[in-house]
Amino acid sequence: MNRLRITEIFFSLQGETRTVGLPTVFVRLTGCPLRCQYCDTAYAFQGGTWYEIEAILAEVKKYKAQYVTVTGGEPLAQKACVALLSRLCDEGYEVSLETSGALDIAQVDARVVKVVDVKTPGSQEVDKNRWENISHLLPHDQVKFVICSETDYEWSKQVLAEHALTDRCQVLFSPSYQQIAPGELADWILRDQLPVRLQIQLHKYLWGDVQGR
């Protein structure tokens, strides 16, 4: 199968990860097997339009962008996502994949920056974490923890230590939007001298919860 169900393809500033603030084309795939309580893209759970990979590439080429992010939903829930990622790399883009970490990342092209979300207890999907994925992380990849409470923070600290995550790749701690104050999370990180990057969702501060931004 050489086609994927797409919710939207849009051009915006990257709101997260190490390329935050840079103009980026986002390819949002439809469907997700998880239901995180803080999800801000529930509109991508259903619907969408079927695109051949060549048609997706044609849409992406309409924008003069160096960076492309494939997101969801959960992109890896569609098998053809792996092929799309490789084709985007072949076209010369710097490609990142935003994934829940619940599905196998082993087959993802090594050129892709994998941004793997480790689900905290506050997400209400902590049991979906696929811990085997850690062994497939490369130095250019990133692991993200969305922190909903101090309990989540302490849990995340423990996971960092148990899996030596900061030795594998960059780790991002992100406050769940409107659930915990960014400054509070920043204070905890500094107090404990954690080698992680505080990440806020830039797009939320610029445009709020607007689709396609």
Flag residues of the chain having pLDDT under 50.
none
Nearest 10 degrees: Cα torsion 56, 58, 210, 65: 120
152-190, pLDDT tens digit by residue?
Answer: 999 999 999 999 999 999 999 999 988 999 999 999 999
Instruction: Return mean pLDDT, the chain.
Output: 94
Strands 197-198 and 23-29: unpaired
Domains and CATH numbers, the chain: 3-207 (3.20.20.70)
pLDDT at 208: 73
